[in-house]
Amino acid sequence: MNPGSRSANLEVAPRSRGPKHGFSKARSRSSREGFPDSKPRGEFSRDSVPHADPKLISSPQREDRNPSYRRKSRQYNAVDERPGKWSEERSPQGPHETRERRFGEGYRDGNRHLDRQERPQTHDQPRPRFRNDIPVVTEFSESNTTTTKQGSSELAAQFTSPPLMPGILSCLTDILGPHATPTPIQSLSLKWLLNDSAQVNPEAGWKQFLLASETGSGKSIAYLLPVLQNLKQAELDTAASPRSPLTTSSGPKRALNPRALILAPTHELSRQLAGFAKSLLHEVKLRVLCASRANMKSTKERDSTARQMVAQFDASLGNTGEFELKERSGFPVDVVVGTPMKLLEMVKGRGWDRKEISKEEEAEESELDNFGKPRRGRDKMVGFGKWRSQPEMGLANVEWVVVDEADVLFDPDFQETTRQLLADISLARGHPVPLPTPVLSQSSAVTTPASVPTPLDYPFNLILTSATIPSALATYLDTYHPKLMRLASPNLHHLPKTLQTEYVNWTGGNKLADIERRIRRVWAEDASMAGATNGDDGRSLSKVLIFCNKSSKVDELGTYLQERGIKNIALSSTSDQRKRGSNHHLDGFLRVRETGTKDSEDAANVNTSPTTPEPIINSDPKSSPHVMITTSLLSRGLDFSPSIRHVFIVDEPRNMIDFLHRAGRAGRAGERGKVVVFGKMKGRGSAKAKDVRKKVGSLVSH
Ligand SMILES: Nc1ncnc2c1ncn2[C@@H]1O[C@H](COP(=O)(O)OP(=O)(O)OP(=O)(O)O)[C@@H](O)[C@H]1O
């Protein structure tokens, strides 16, 4: 810990003196691509923003000081928020339902809560009011933030200090290029997680960390490097007594006994993370499995077992022999990536969360669901024993757990599942922890303080990552993880520095036509830029990612653009493409890596060398989709291609957290990007619209 620390467990990386964003290589590439440097309309002057005190994120003084804002505020009134505008997002099912909606169509990934939103809703009950604005953390305030002047010298400026294993380092170099340097959050992670001497909890030996940094700042590498290196090192250390997952004393034998779990809110993100982890392991050969239900080629998901999953996983590797089965009876998978609900299903057996009912009840209930509708699919399976499958995964070997997008997975609606899994791991490892009953509310209070909550000391290393720390997560961490070491980048809770902001006014006519016009303008600018720089005939037309609040709007906009010759992919939680068992529905939009490795069914994104600009394949928007329309479903964690240089926010952001994540799908890894916020300039709701704009402005990096 730095001598100058005011807080015992929080460190913020010092501001880099090098490239502003810590992505030197990527930045030079984006410069080559000639992204316009001019300051966009509606952007606040970065100079007017005081340095990195997150408390000032919503500073009301900013626009007063900024003449640009006063001028622009006459032009843009941002967005309409008439009472009842969000009525479709409000749910008669109570706060659970409401929050599922608010977090973007719910992340329906094997998470039972999330399926509820798909059920028919009645509209005769009072609708709960939304809290429009979840404050973007006051947690990292000056009072407990260390600016680490002394600490800066201790932070890694290279990936070689502290040393990475040669195999991991060479894969990392393949991915990022030879000149890549760690981003601030990676420097912190290398210092605190990789360096064994930096034990935070020496008595217990288990580490608890939060990695918090803005979108696209490399949090995946920040946690993957220490986790993978540690796993490999442990394997080497026990080489004399070979690892034998099936011989653990506690718990029954399982096909899978991973040593690390990575939890993510969607299976799309799980696949991408699994693929990324694999790309770091070509040489050190640890085995990563993405436990995504949709991975299975079989449509009968009930028939899928861990054994089948591993078999398919092997098949997807093309029989390269890269990951050999070490024991005929077992599958030495080291890392399993998946949604908490999917992993729980593998641990407890599918159907573990269904209630047991009597035969009479069964007869009564089997035909109709709670809403009186005929049961279909999985919901039809009632009655213990008929639908419950055998557990497939053991947890006794788990020594590392990463909770990616921790603010979602510890959100009051999802934390029950996440914490159940963490408690199960603890139990399997012989150190049960209490499963706390109270769920923390959004406010800083505990809703049902049955007893004084006891801090959770899990018997494994726990890493939480997030680009945003809502107050609910801050409260949760304060309550249950007081010893957790918080590592934060200085740009936390701001938009990436390379992301510009632009406001577009609705013309007052057809909003869909306004959106179409703005898309065409993007391509016109691209074409003229390409023409001006290298005579390119428009091959470098960029792609546009559009976020709506509702599935119905996604479909409507998709159809409208399609009819006007703009091919697009409209994707919401209910889209059939999501069920196909791969990330192919995101093809052309996710970042592609160029090592020749096949993008396998279970998410293996291949490596890319940043020295080679990403190829623009079939860049005609008439023949291949250049527009993706979606909801917040795809706003979390996904590493979108640098060819997405524009994110359109066409519906009023539900809160600034959601906004940061949506906007952050562009401007990643030092690439230039632009977030275009559509809004209504005049008429009702202008006060709130100004408020939205003010808040967005205060997220701009300085
Ligand atoms: N040190 C680095 N130099 C250059 N590029 C990097 C570096 N670290 C990571 N990247 C690249 O940055 C991109 C974004 O990384 P990543 O997805 O881990 O960001 P993130 O912080 O997890 O974002 P989000 O909050 O949206 O999940 C990836 O393509 C990754 O390869």
Residue 550, pLDDT > 60, answer: yes
Q: What mean pLDDT do residues 123-136 have?
A: 31
Atom of ligand 1 nearest to the CA of 639: 17
Distance CA 621, CA 588 (A): 12
**Atom 4, ligand 1: residue with shortest CA distance:** 23
466: β partners = 212
Q: Kind of pairing, strands 208-212 and 461-466?
A: parallel
| Residue 203 pLDDT class (50, 70, 90 cuts) | low
Residue 182 beta carbon below 6 angstroms from any ligand 1 atom: yes
pLDDT of residue 506: 87
Q: Which of 214, 220, 661 is the pocket-test mutation for ligand 1 (most atoms within 8 Å of CB)? A: 220
Q: Which of 10-24, 110-124, 658-672 has the highest mean pLDDT?
A: 658-672
Question: Distance, CA 653 to ligand 1 centroid (Å)?
Answer: 24
Residue 549, pLDDT > 70, answer: yes
Percent of the chain surpassing pLDDT 70: 54
Query: pTM for the full model?
Result: 0.73
Residue 492 beta carbon below 6 angstroms from any ligand 1 atom: no
Q: Which of 42-46, 472-476, 485-489, 521-525 has the lowest mean pLDDT?
A: 42-46
Distance CA 295, CA 312 (A): 9
Residue 23 beta carbon below 6 angstroms from any ligand 1 atom: yes
Q: Which of 109-113, 141-145, 690-694 has the highest mean pLDDT?
A: 690-694
| Residue 35 pLDDT class (50, 70, 90 cuts) | very low
Residue 475, H or E segment: helix 471-480
Residue 325, pLDDT > 80, answer: no
Among residues 500, 489, 466, 488, the alpha carbon closest in space to that of 700 is found at: 500
Note the pLDDT tens digit of each residue in 424-440. 999 999 999 987 665 54
Question: Distance, CA 232 to ligand 1 centroid (Å)?
Answer: 23
Sorted by sequence, the CB contacts under 8 Å of residue 652 that are 6+ apart come out as 78, 79, 80, 81, 85, 549, 679, 689, 692
Q: What mean pLDDT do residues 526-536 have?
A: 65
Residue 228, pLDDT > 90, answer: yes
Q: Which of 92-101, 259-268, 361-370, 670-679 has the lowest mean pLDDT?
A: 92-101
Residue 217 beta carbon below 6 angstroms from any ligand 1 atom: yes
Question: Distance, CA 346 to ligand 1 centroid (Å)?
Answer: 29
Range 462-500 burial, b when 16+ CB lie within 10 A, else e = bbbbbbbbbbbbbbbbebbbeebbbbbbbbbbbbbbbbb
Q: What mean pLDDT do residues 189-214 have?
A: 76
Residue 686 beta carbon below 6 angstroms from any ligand 1 atom: no
Contact 640, 589 (CB under 8 A): yes
Instruction: Report how far Cα 39 is from the mean position of its chain's Cα atoms.
Output: 29
Residue 218 beta carbon below 6 angstroms from any ligand 1 atom: yes
Q: Which of 95-109, 144-158, 210-224, 461-475 has the lowest mean pLDDT?
A: 95-109
Atom of ligand 1 nearest to the CA of 215: 25
pLDDT of residue 654: 84
Q: What mean pLDDT do residues 401-418 have?
A: 92
Note the pLDDT tens digit of each residue in 428-484. 999 999 876 655 444 444 444 456 778 899 999 999 999 999 988 998 999 999 889
**Atom 23, ligand 1: residue with shortest CA distance:** 216
Token pair of 20 as six digits: 């502003």
CA quadruple 12, 17, 19, 23: dihedral, nearest 10: -40
pLDDT of residue 173: 95
Token pair of 495 as six digits: 């938009």
Contact 700, 39 (CB under 8 A): no
Instruction: Say which amino acid occupies 13.
Output: A
CA quadruple 691, 694, 695, 696: dihedral, nearest 10: 120
Q: Which of 73-77, 125-129, 427-431 has the lowest mean pLDDT?
A: 73-77
Question: Distance, CA 214 to ligand 1 centroid (Å)?
Answer: 10
Question: Distance, CA 186 to ligand 1 centroid (Å)?
Answer: 10
| Residue 533 pLDDT class (50, 70, 90 cuts) | low
Residue 15, pLDDT > 80, answer: no
Question: Distance, CA 558 to ligand 1 centroid (Å)?
Answer: 29
Residue 187 beta carbon below 6 angstroms from any ligand 1 atom: no
Atom of ligand 1 nearest to the CA of 185: 21
pLDDT of residue 291: 85
Q: What mean pLDDT do residues 198-219 have?
A: 80
- The residue among 449 and 34 whose pLDDT is bigger is 449
pLDDT of residue 415: 87
C-alpha triplet 336, 631, 572: angle, nearest 5°? 75
Range 195-207 burial, b when 16+ CB lie within 10 A, else e = beeeebeeeeebb
pLDDT of residue 671: 92
Atom of ligand 1 nearest to the CA of 404: 27
| Residue 285 pLDDT class (50, 70, 90 cuts) | confident
Question: Distance, CA 229 to ligand 1 centroid (Å)?
Answer: 18
Note the pLDDT tens digit of each residue in 164-182. 999 999 999 999 999 999 9
Residue 121, pLDDT > 70, answer: no
Residue 238, pLDDT > 70, answer: yes
Residue 639 beta carbon below 6 angstroms from any ligand 1 atom: yes
Atom of ligand 1 nearest to the CA of 405: 27
Distance CA 258, CA 442 (A): 34
Question: Distance, CA 630 to ligand 1 centroid (Å)?
Answer: 22
Residue 280 beta carbon below 6 angstroms from any ligand 1 atom: no
- The residue among 618 and 414 whose pLDDT is bigger is 414
pLDDT of residue 526: 87
Q: What mean pLDDT do residues 385-395 have?
A: 74
Question: Distance, CA 676 to ligand 1 centroid (Å)?
Answer: 22
Residue 679, pLDDT > 90, answer: no
How many CA atoms within 13 Å lie on the side-chain side of 485? 23
Residue 593, pLDDT > 50, answer: yes
Distance between first and last Cα of the chain? 28
Residue 491 beta carbon below 6 angstroms from any ligand 1 atom: no
